[in-house]
Chains A and B, each alone.
Chain A
């Protein structure tokens, strides 16, 4: 099996850490070698955060190289654009249709790039845009954005839906389980 590379990008505080936990769980459940690398020192301070998951028969490097990601999940539009060059030819990207201005934009030093989605379309053949915030709100909590996005990612991957649900059951505290299962469903069915 060729190594499968998934890049998860977002803004600190968006819940990428739980998403990557679930992703790592579902990956290990497939019985492959898995490596996952996370730079989260700034996770709570609104910086840009990246998680890389690699699964395959034998995985050496924990890093995904530019042009090698099979899937990208972007929790925010600008972050999608920042990392889209990591996507391999024919890879797919799931983008949350949400804009979070970085401080450089808030202070007026830079402008938030216009037409992000158009630019993504130019650089990737498979762009799935979803309003995860709205879907999360509909299932009961905006904090479930992360699992909605995993639901959308699941559509693009060769892993059974049952595996994903099981990974969520193993990872999410009982109190929030029902919410997260619904959130996954919402992202999965679009």
Chain B
């Protein structure tokens, strides 16, 4: 039976069909749905981990203990997990291990556009690149087989258009989920220099064997057509090539580390003009050109952003217009903090206090945009806290003008070590943990601070206050962000205190709590049209004819605008429930 599945659903299905017994991940677009879908197969032990390194290490443990294992993350997550990955390449596996990296060309929802294919080459681990959901599923099986046959972790590299496009997939029955037995083997699994040096030599032998695999695997194949034009391609780019160049011969590579040199040289010798077409970096091209092959690649195809059939047609000389050239010039529609979002109140207060904000990654990063304009920096997950310390070390006087802002999931992911650094190195920074009881940005996943697992089963909840105290922060406070005056006074006092402090602004995400909709309305007699309420940047409020109005379909009655209005023009039953 064929069904339409996204690449991520297909990878989850692959895990089910090909005997994966343990799966771990930390969420991140476009990879998140892989574990969310694996979670429906109760026969697989699956979990969210606090971060990608931990997820990878759980997978490493499960693999060495004998289980077929999958770890999934977005491209930047692999940076976090790189440490175990590089050395696992030395020790190898017991049960097959597949690491799924979902890259994001075009940066639909990412802070950078790194091309993780280089990780395969760098860590010396084999790599598969699927071109559609069917391959995404099949390649999970191949990855596990290769992993076990060559004693190596395998990278399965997806991209946004693979992970988030639905294409038809043939479903099969699940094979048996056999977990091999564990055998202690310190030469293999204890990577001290003496053992690692031996393994290092083995890596090069393994490379040669994997090259043989690459030459013979059916996922590296030639589709012969007109030999005037040949194309070497992989991943989603293959689909665009099929569409844009229906007459070209194609060397389609599904296994892209190590590359099949003989196959490439043979293909190149049989076509008149050769193109290498791949999204983002010239990963294939560099290798192919180093073989002495003459080919056209990034000199005409863009290195940034996503490809498309049209972009390829244009690059090879078709008369098509520039993408976007015919578009109407209309206002952008950037994402915004939702009506009732607890983050809004915090950023409004930070703006009032004119503080520098070292920020982090999550929904609250939207606080950087107008009209809240209250974030100075965002680099990567967890960076907010150490960066505040860095600000203070560079300019001691900035300590009283700077706060770090970080979400609950991000704090658990990699914020806590930064907080320890503040305590350890005599910092005095103020850290705001925006605890909305969920990992909102990536679609509301549970995390260790929410008290629920991936499967929504109850579990021990991290006590944030106790955690901060335990690392040595004496000044720890929890506040309801909707109590804006209290929040403001607290932040003012704590930035002025020459000691580290943590303020936990606690209020669940507006999308995870049911609201009785106690709406707010604007009394038009009181409204003087000052537009103060517009400064909170709530999508439910609009202004016209010198008066503001509240859209009843969107308002959830958080009361932030009412607290900002100086003329008591916004009234209603404000649901300021006490915080627990």
When the two chains form their complex, are residues B330 and A45 in contact, meaning their CB atoms are under 8 A apart? Answer: no
A interface, by DSSP: helix, strand, loop or mixed?
mixed
When the two chains form their complex, are residues A60 and B328 in contact, meaning their CB atoms are under 8 A apart? Answer: no
Residue from B165, B309, B338 in contact with A45 in the complex, judged by beta carbons closer than 8 Å: B338
Instruction: For the complex, give the distance between the alpha carbons of A28 and B3 in Å.
Output: 8
Assuming the contacts A63-B161, A107-B534, A112-B331, asked whether A42 and B166 have C-beta atoms less than 8 A apart, the reply is no
When the two chains form their complex, are residues A78 and B330 in contact, meaning their CB atoms are under 8 A apart? Answer: yes
Residue from A12, A42, A45, A85 in contact with B328 in the complex, judged by beta carbons closer than 8 Å: A85
Interface-located stretch among A31-39, A150-158, A181-189: A31-39
Assuming the contacts A36-B166, A102-B331, A105-B331, asked whether A62 and B239 have C-beta atoms less than 8 A apart, the reply is yes
When the two chains form their complex, are residues A62 and B165 in contact, meaning their CB atoms are under 8 A apart? Answer: yes
When the two chains form their complex, are residues B109 and A45 in contact, meaning their CB atoms are under 8 A apart? Answer: no
When the two chains form their complex, are residues B335 and A46 in contact, meaning their CB atoms are under 8 A apart? Answer: yes
Instruction: For the complex, give the distance between the alpha carbons of A39 and B324 in Å.
Output: 18
List of B residues within 8 angstroms of A108 by Cβ: 534
When the two chains form their complex, are residues B240 and A40 in contact, meaning their CB atoms are under 8 A apart? Answer: no
Residue from A28, A37, A79, A81 in contact with B164 in the complex, judged by beta carbons closer than 8 Å: A37
Which size class do A's interface residues fall under?
35 or more
Instruction: For the complex, give the distance between the alpha carbons of A123 and B326 in Å.
Output: 11
Residue from B161, B243, B310, B333 in contact with A102 in the complex, judged by beta carbons closer than 8 Å: B333
Q: Which chain B residue has the least Cβ–Cβ distance from A119?
A: B328
B466 within 8 A of A: no
List of A residues within 8 angstroms of B132 by Cβ: 35
Distance in Å: Cβ of B579 to nearest Cβ of chain A: 24
When the two chains form their complex, are residues A85 and B326 in contact, meaning their CB atoms are under 8 A apart? Answer: yes
List of A residues within 8 angstroms of B539 by Cβ: 46, 101, 103, 106
Interface-located stretch among B194-202, B207-215, B364-372, B513-521: B364-372
When the two chains form their complex, are residues B239 and A41 in contact, meaning their CB atoms are under 8 A apart? Answer: no
List of B residues within 8 angstroms of A48 by Cβ: 333
B29 within 8 A of A: yes
A84 within 8 A of B: yes
List of A residues within 8 angstroms of B366 by Cβ: 45
B308 within 8 A of A: yes
B334 within 8 A of A: yes
Assuming the contacts A84-B328, A102-B334, A103-B370, asked whether A65 and B165 have C-beta atoms less than 8 A apart, the reply is no
Assuming the contacts A41-B29, A41-B30, A85-B328, asked whether A47 and B335 have C-beta atoms less than 8 A apart, the reply is yes
Instruction: For the complex, give the distance between the alpha carbons of A107 and B490 in Å.
Output: 29
Bitwise, A100-139 to B at CB < 8 A (1) or not (0) is: 0111111111111100000100010000000000000000
**6 smallest beta-carbon distances between A and B, as pairs:** A41-B109, A47-B335, A110-B331, A45-B335, A102-B333, A62-B165
User: Can you spell out 5 A-B residue pairs with CB atoms less than 8 angstroms apart?
Assistant: A35-B166, A36-B165, A39-B160, A103-B537, A106-B539
Residues of B with Cβ closer than 8 Å to A?
3-4, 29-30, 108-109, 132, 160-161, 164-168, 236, 239-240, 242-243, 308-310, 321, 323-324, 326-328, 330-338, 363, 366, 369-371, 443, 511, 534, 537, 539, 541-543, 553
Residues of A with Cβ closer than 8 Å to B?
11-12, 24, 28, 33-42, 44-48, 60-63, 65-67, 78-79, 81-82, 84-85, 101-113, 119, 123, 142
